[in-house]
Amino acid sequence: MSRVTRLLVPAATAALLSAGLLSPAAAQDADAAKALIQSNNCTQCHGIKKDKDAPAFLKIAEKYKGKASAEDDLIKHITSGKKVKLADGTQEDHKIVKTIPANDQAQMRNLIKWILATQ
pLDDT for position 28: 74
Q: Spell out the residues 6+ positions from residue 84 whose beta carbon is closer than 8 angstroms to its own.
A: 54, 91, 92, 93, 94
In a domain, 8, yes or no: no
In a domain, 53, yes or no: yes
Q: Which domain holds residue 104?
A: 25-116
In a domain, 16, yes or no: no
Q: Grade residue 2 by pLDDT with cuts at 50, 70 and 90.
A: low
pLDDT for position 71: 97
CATH code, domain with 88:
1.10.760.10
Q: Which amino acid is at 56?
A: A
Q: Which amino acid is at 69?
A: S
Separation of alpha carbons 3 and 10, rounded Å:
12
In a domain, 93, yes or no: yes
pTM to 2 decimals? 0.75
In a domain, 85, yes or no: yes
pLDDT for position 91: 96
Task: Look at the chain and report how many structural domains it folds into.
Answer: 1
Q: What secondary structure does DSSP assign to 19-45, as a single string?
A: TTSS-GGGGS-HHHHHHHHHHTTGGGT
